[in-house]
């Protein structure tokens, strides 16, 4: 199998050609694909910002949309201002050995570098399958595209000889008390891609290109698509409970804050040297039980969240950027002690270290078998240490009033690799060195 050049496979003849014009072969390809889906199993105040103000990583407007730089010490898509659409895709790595894994990461690097830069697709000669799906036309728009690559704990088993190189804090996501993961097919994975762009077709094009070029090396297991609503009418966009979501986030544009909360440091906190510049990603698919939520009074909804629904202001403030003052409300008379924002971030000196960088998206995927809306939040956050940060927040939120209206159904923990430093570097180069 030549994952870097599928055309070379096709030259091997119909038996090796999954997309040949023979129904039987097409069907057997689809069957094979099915088999491969088995799941591998500063100052406190100064550290906050309105979430729209994530780090400026140099994205440039241009005729093909914004181009987010691919090369750098950290991957794009973490502190990058959130694009409008996203897909979170989990894969099983099926490469036979470490050389295959190296090939996979090399092909991934080439594809992501190419796709995120945009530009003309390579010419196709009429006798060959097209070099590109053409869904974006002959010249790819960069369109704010970022593809962020993460590795799951399962990748560090015996298959690739990487057990002693696992990021120190990388574990399989546990089930939390209010989770509904029984029977879920959307859990964990060897490798994850967070694909974000300004348009849905750009995200889909990128995924199709990547799966095409990595066939035989990794196999998609599950995917969830997300979107960010437009601001209604202004400010931070709303989630599907109707509240502005993503207002308060650590200031990722501040280097010291990012170094303390987002990036992993090689040789520190038990991390292997190769992990310099990475970050832990948590993905949680959280369904919203909107049929129940819509029967709750506005007052109760706002008490549960701790913010005004219309303005996004904390209950003790007037605008969304106001900071809640819990010191002045120690009994919780204005913002209840059980309010989501108060539990999630009590804003005490002790809770500084547990802040997370949220980068969530709404999802919508039709109806369930009972005709209820299957909509919710693809909760996504980045941090330096999952236990110290996400899990600490999750623990504080356990049993909050909001849990009656949400239901986590899937997700996973991944280690977002350090960035690709330049044209001769590849994803995971230090890991595999
Ligand atoms: C464990 C971490 C969190 C989960 C899971 C989570 C789920 C979740 N949140 C909302 C809605 C809102 N969350 C808001 C703020 C907020 N949420 C978390 C953490 C988790 N949320 C944090 C750390 C914060 C910031 C708190 C702060 O610093 O003040 C808000 C308020 C607006 C905002 O700041 O973004 C809303 C609304 C839902 C619906 C949900 C699960 C579906
Ligand atoms: Fe939240």
DSSP secondary structure of 255-289: HHHHHHHT---TTSTT--GGGTT-EEEEEEEEEE-
The kind and range of the H/E element at 302 are helix 298-305
Identify the residue whose C-alpha is closest to ligand 1 atom 21.
344
- Ligand 1 atom nearest residue 405's Cα: 42
Is 90 exceeded by the pLDDT of residue 315? yes
d(CA 268, CA 152) in angstroms, rounded, equals: 20
- What does the block give as tokens for 262? 């987002």
In this predicted structure, what is the pLDDT of residue 65? 78
- CA atoms in the 13 A half-sphere facing the CB of 164: 1
DSSP secondary structure of 49-115: EETT-------B--TTS-B---BSSB-TTSSSPPPSEEEEEEEEE--SSHHHHHHHHHHHHHHHHHH
Asked whether 390 lines ligand 1 (CB < 6 A), one says yes
Closest CA to 55 of 85, 88, 73, 82: 82
Return all residues near 56 (Cβ < 8 A) that are at least 6 apart: 81, 253
d(CA 159, CA 13) in angstroms, rounded, equals: 30
Over the stretch 329-378, which tens digit does the pLDDT of each residue have? Answer: 999 999 999 999 999 999 999 999 999 999 999 999 999 999 999 999 99
Instruction: Please name which ligand lies nearest the alpha carbon of 379.
Output: 1
Is there a domain that residue 46 lies in? no
Please state which of the ranges 27-36, 263-272, 297-306 shows the lowest mean pLDDT: 27-36
Is 80 exceeded by the pLDDT of residue 222? yes
Tell me, yes or no, whether 308 and 370 share the same domain.
yes
Tell me, yes or no, whether 12 and 118 share the same domain.
no
Tell me, yes or no, whether 84 and 7 share the same domain.
no
Tell me, yes or no, whether 4 and 151 share the same domain.
no
Tell me, yes or no, whether 2 and 89 share the same domain.
no
In this predicted structure, what is the pLDDT of residue 26? 41
Q: Reply yes or no: is the peptide bond before residue 96 cis, omega within 30 of 0.
A: no
Asked whether 112 lines ligand 1 (CB < 6 A), one says no
Asked whether 342 lines ligand 1 (CB < 6 A), one says no
**Banded model confidence at residue 14, pLDDT cuts 50, 70, 90:** very low
In this predicted structure, what is the pLDDT of residue 318? 98
Tell me, yes or no, whether 19 and 85 share the same domain.
no
* Domain interval for residue 12: 1-35
Region 132-151: mean pLDDT is 97
Q: Using an 8 Å Cβ cutoff, are 414 and 40 in contact?
A: no
**Cα 68 to averaged position of ligand 1 atoms, centre (Å):** 27
- Ligand 1 atom nearest residue 356's Cα: 23
Tell me, yes or no, whether 170 and 29 share the same domain.
no
Asked whether 379 lines ligand 1 (CB < 6 A), one says yes
Total domains in the chain come to: 2
Identify the residue whose C-alpha is closest to ligand 1 atom 8.
379
pTM value is 0.88
Tell me, yes or no, whether 24 and 170 share the same domain.
no
Query: Exposure of 184 by Cβ count < 10 A (0-12 exposed, 13-18 middle, 19+ buried)?
Result: middle
Region 88-111: mean pLDDT is 98
**Cα 281 to averaged position of ligand 1 atoms, centre (Å):** 16
Region 386-399: mean pLDDT is 98
Is 80 exceeded by the pLDDT of residue 137? yes
Please state which of the ranges 38-52, 97-111, 176-190, 217-231 shows the lowest mean pLDDT: 38-52
Higher confidence at residue 158 or residue 10? 158
Tell me, yes or no, whether 363 and 320 share the same domain.
yes
d(CA 348, CA 350) in angstroms, rounded, equals: 5
Please state which of the ranges 48-52, 95-99, 135-139 shows the lowest mean pLDDT: 48-52
Q: What was the ipTM of the complex prediction?
A: 0.99
Is there a domain that residue 42 lies in? no
Closest CA to 415 of 145, 173, 55: 173
3-state SS of 320-349 is: CCCCCCCHHHCCCCCCCCCCHHHHHCCCCH
d(CA 5, CA 332) in angstroms, rounded, equals: 61
- What does the block give as tokens for 174? 């546990």
Instruction: Please name which ligand lies nearest the alpha carbon of 304.
Output: 1
In this predicted structure, what is the pLDDT of residue 59? 61
- What does the block give as tokens for 77? 């898509």
Is there a domain that residue 217 lies in? yes
Residue among 261, 305, 322, 340 whose CB has most ligand 1 atoms within 8 A, to mutate: 340
Tell me, yes or no, whether 249 and 158 share the same domain.
yes
- What does the block give as tokens for 415? 């280690």
Is there a domain that residue 85 lies in? yes
Is there a domain that residue 279 lies in? yes
Closest CA to 386 of 204, 262, 205: 262
Tell me, yes or no, whether 240 and 273 share the same domain.
yes
Tell me, yes or no, whether 8 and 157 share the same domain.
no
Is there a domain that residue 147 lies in? yes
Is there a domain that residue 304 lies in? yes
Q: Using an 8 Å Cβ cutoff, are 112 and 419 in contact?
A: no
- Ligand 1 atom nearest residue 406's Cα: 42
Is there a domain that residue 29 lies in? yes
């Amino acid at each position: 199998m030549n994952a870097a050049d599928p055309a070379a496979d096709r030259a091997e003849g119909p038996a090796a050609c999954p997309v040949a014009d023979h129904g039987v072969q097409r069907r057997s390809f689809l069957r094979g694909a099915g088999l491969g889906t088995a799941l591998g199993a500063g100052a406190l105040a100064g550290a906050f910002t309105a979430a729209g103000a994530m780090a400026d990583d140099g994205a440039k407007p241009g005729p093909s949309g914004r181009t987010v730089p691919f090369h750098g010490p950290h991957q794009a898509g973490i502190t990058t201002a959130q694009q409008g659409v996203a897909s979170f895709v989990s894969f099983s790595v099926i490469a036979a050995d470490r050389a295959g894994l190296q090939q996979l990461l090399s092909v991934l690097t080439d594809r992501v570098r190419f796709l995120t830069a945009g530009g003309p697709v390579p010419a196709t000669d009429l006798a060959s399958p097209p070099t590109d799906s053409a869904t974006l036309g002959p010249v790819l728009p960069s369109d704010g595209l970022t593809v962020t690559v993460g590795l799951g704990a399962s990748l560090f088993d015996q298959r690739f000889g990487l057990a002693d190189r696992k990021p120190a804090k990388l574990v399989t996501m546990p089930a939390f008390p209010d989770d509904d993961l029984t029977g879920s097919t959307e859990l964990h994975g060897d490798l994850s891609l967070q694909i974000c762009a300004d348009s849905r077709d750009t995200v889909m094009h990128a995924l199709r290109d990547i799966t095409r070029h990595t066939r035989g090396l990794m196999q998609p297991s599950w995917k969830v698509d997300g979107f960010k609503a437009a601001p209604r009418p202004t400010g931070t966009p709303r989630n599907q409970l109707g509240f502005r979501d993503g207002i308060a986030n650590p200031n990722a544009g501040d280097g010291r804050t990012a170094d303390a909360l987002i990036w992993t440091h090689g040789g520190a906190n038990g991390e292997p040297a190769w992990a310099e510049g990475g970050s832990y990603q948590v993905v949680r698919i959280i369904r919203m039980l909107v049929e129940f939520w819509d029967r709750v009074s506005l007052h109760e909804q706002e008490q549960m969240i701790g913010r005004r629904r219309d303005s996004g202001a904390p209950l003790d403030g007037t605008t969304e950027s106001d900071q809640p003052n819990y010191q002045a409300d120690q009994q919780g008379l204005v913002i209840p002690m059980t309010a989501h924002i108060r539990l999630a971030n009590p804003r005490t000196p002790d809770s500084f270290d547990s802040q997370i960088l949220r980068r969530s998206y709404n999802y919508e995927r039709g109806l369930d078998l009972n005709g209820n809306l299957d909509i919710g939040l693809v909760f996504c956050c980045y941090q330096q240490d999952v236990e110290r940060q996400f899990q600490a927040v999750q623990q504080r939120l356990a049993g909050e009033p909001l849990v009656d209206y949400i239901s986590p159904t899937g997700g996973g923990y991944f280690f977002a690799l350090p960035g690709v430093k330049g044209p001769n570097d590849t994803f995971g180069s230090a890991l595999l060195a």
